[in-house]
Protein backbone atom coordinates (compact mmCIF):
# COMPACT_ATOMS: atom_id res chain seq x y z
CA UNK A 1 0.00 0.00 0.00
CA UNK A 2 2.63 2.47 0.69
CA UNK A 3 3.76 1.88 -2.82
CA UNK A 4 0.32 2.66 -4.17
CA UNK A 5 0.24 5.91 -2.25
CA UNK A 6 3.62 6.85 -3.56
CA UNK A 7 2.56 6.05 -7.09
CA UNK A 8 -0.73 7.89 -6.66
CA UNK A 9 1.07 10.89 -5.21
CA UNK A 10 3.60 10.73 -8.01
CA UNK A 11 0.89 10.67 -10.68
CA UNK A 12 -1.05 13.40 -8.89
CA UNK A 13 2.06 15.60 -8.93
CA UNK A 14 2.62 14.84 -12.59
CA UNK A 15 -1.05 15.65 -13.36
CA UNK A 16 -0.84 18.94 -11.48
CA UNK A 17 2.44 19.87 -13.21
CA UNK A 18 0.95 18.89 -16.57
CA UNK A 19 -2.12 21.06 -15.87
CA UNK A 20 0.19 23.97 -14.93
CA UNK A 21 2.19 23.50 -18.14
CA UNK A 22 -1.01 23.38 -20.22
CA UNK A 23 -2.21 26.59 -18.58
CA UNK A 24 1.15 28.29 -19.22
CA UNK A 25 1.03 27.12 -22.84
CA UNK A 26 -2.49 28.52 -23.24
CA UNK A 27 -1.37 31.87 -21.76
CA UNK A 28 1.68 31.94 -24.03
CA UNK A 29 -0.48 31.14 -27.07
CA UNK A 30 -2.85 34.01 -26.15
CA UNK A 31 0.12 36.37 -25.74
CA UNK A 32 1.54 35.31 -29.11
CA UNK A 33 -1.84 35.90 -30.77
CA UNK A 34 -2.13 39.32 -29.06
CA UNK A 35 1.41 40.23 -30.15
CA UNK A 36 0.61 39.15 -33.71
CA UNK A 37 -2.53 41.30 -33.76
CA UNK A 38 -0.63 44.28 -32.33
CA UNK A 39 2.11 43.77 -34.90
CA UNK A 40 -0.43 43.73 -37.74
CA UNK A 41 -2.15 46.89 -36.44
CA UNK A 42 1.19 48.65 -36.02
CA UNK A 43 2.25 47.59 -39.51
CA UNK A 44 -1.03 48.83 -40.98
CA UNK A 45 -0.70 52.19 -39.20
CA UNK A 46 2.91 52.49 -40.30
CA UNK A 47 1.92 51.81 -43.91
CA UNK A 48 -0.80 54.48 -43.72
CA UNK A 49 1.67 57.00 -42.30
CA UNK A 50 4.17 56.07 -45.01
CA UNK A 51 1.57 56.70 -47.72
CA UNK A 52 0.71 60.07 -46.13
CA UNK A 53 4.40 61.00 -45.96
CA UNK A 54 4.85 60.08 -49.62
CA UNK A 55 1.89 62.29 -50.56
CA UNK A 56 3.23 65.15 -48.44
CA UNK A 57 6.64 64.84 -50.08
CA UNK A 58 5.01 64.84 -53.52
CA UNK A 59 3.07 68.02 -52.64
CA UNK A 60 6.21 69.68 -51.25
CA UNK A 61 8.11 68.85 -54.43
CA UNK A 62 5.31 70.40 -56.50
CA UNK A 63 5.36 73.51 -54.29
CA UNK A 64 9.13 73.79 -54.62
CA UNK A 65 8.84 73.48 -58.41
CA UNK A 66 6.23 76.29 -58.47
CA UNK A 67 8.42 78.46 -56.25
CA UNK A 68 11.43 77.87 -58.51
CA UNK A 69 9.32 78.82 -61.53
CA UNK A 70 8.12 82.00 -59.80
CA UNK A 71 11.67 82.92 -58.85
CA UNK A 72 12.72 82.39 -62.47
CA UNK A 73 9.97 84.76 -63.66
CA UNK A 74 10.98 87.33 -61.05
CA UNK A 75 14.62 87.12 -62.12
CA UNK A 76 13.59 87.53 -65.76
CA UNK A 77 11.58 90.63 -64.82
CA UNK A 78 14.47 92.04 -62.78
CA UNK A 79 16.65 92.00 -65.89
CA UNK A 80 14.24 94.43 -67.56
CA UNK A 81 14.48 96.97 -64.71
CA UNK A 82 17.07 99.72 -64.67
CA UNK A 83 19.99 99.17 -62.36
CA UNK A 84 20.91 101.65 -59.65
CA UNK A 85 24.07 102.75 -61.45
CA UNK A 86 22.08 103.43 -64.63
CA UNK A 87 19.59 105.54 -62.67
CA UNK A 88 22.42 107.51 -61.07
CA UNK A 89 23.87 108.25 -64.52
CA UNK A 90 20.45 109.46 -65.73
CA UNK A 91 20.11 111.59 -62.61
CA UNK A 92 23.48 113.25 -63.29
CA UNK A 93 22.47 113.96 -66.91
CA UNK A 94 19.18 115.45 -65.77
CA UNK A 95 20.95 117.69 -63.27
CA UNK A 96 23.42 118.78 -65.95
CA UNK A 97 20.84 119.54 -68.58
CA UNK A 98 18.13 120.83 -66.26
CA UNK A 99 15.40 120.06 -68.77
CA UNK A 100 12.87 122.13 -66.86
CA UNK A 101 14.84 125.24 -67.77
CA UNK A 102 14.76 124.41 -71.48
CA UNK A 103 12.28 126.36 -73.54
CA UNK A 104 10.36 125.36 -76.58
CA UNK A 105 11.01 127.25 -79.78
CA UNK A 106 7.54 128.75 -79.62
CA UNK A 107 8.18 130.01 -76.10
CA UNK A 108 11.48 131.61 -77.14
CA UNK A 109 9.81 133.30 -80.10
CA UNK A 110 7.06 134.63 -77.83
CA UNK A 111 9.61 135.96 -75.32
CA UNK A 112 11.64 137.64 -78.09
CA UNK A 113 8.47 139.14 -79.53
CA UNK A 114 7.49 140.53 -76.11
CA UNK A 115 10.92 142.01 -75.55
CA UNK A 116 10.91 143.59 -79.00
CA UNK A 117 7.51 145.10 -78.31
CA UNK A 118 8.75 146.48 -75.01
CA UNK A 119 11.74 148.02 -76.78
CA UNK A 120 9.49 149.54 -79.44
CA UNK A 121 7.21 150.93 -76.77
CA UNK A 122 10.18 152.42 -74.95
CA UNK A 123 11.41 153.94 -78.20
CA UNK A 124 7.98 155.32 -78.94
CA UNK A 125 7.71 156.70 -75.44
CA UNK A 126 11.17 158.23 -75.84
CA UNK A 127 10.22 159.91 -79.15
CA UNK A 128 7.03 161.30 -77.77
CA UNK A 129 8.91 163.05 -74.98
CA UNK A 130 11.02 165.08 -77.47
Question: Is-above-0.75 flag for pTM?
Answer: no
More confident residue, 124 or 4: 124
DSSP 1: -
Per-residue CA distances from 15 to 9, 10, 12, 21, 99 (Å): 10, 9, 5, 10, 119
Instruction: Give the pLDDT confidence of 17-67 residue by residue, as tens digits.
Output: 999 999 999 999 999 999 999 999 999 999 999 999 999 999 999 999 999
Q: In the structure, what pLDDT confidence band is assigned to residue 130 with cuts at 50, 70 and 90? A: low
Instruction: Give the pLDDT confidence of 77-121 residue by residue, as tens digits.
Output: 988 888 889 889 988 888 887 767 777 889 889 999 999 999 998
Is 76's pLDDT higher than 80? Answer: yes
Amino acid sequence: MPEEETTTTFFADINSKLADLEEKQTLLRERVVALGENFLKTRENTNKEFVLLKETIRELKADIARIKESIGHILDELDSFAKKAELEILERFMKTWEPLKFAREEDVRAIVKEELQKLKEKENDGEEKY
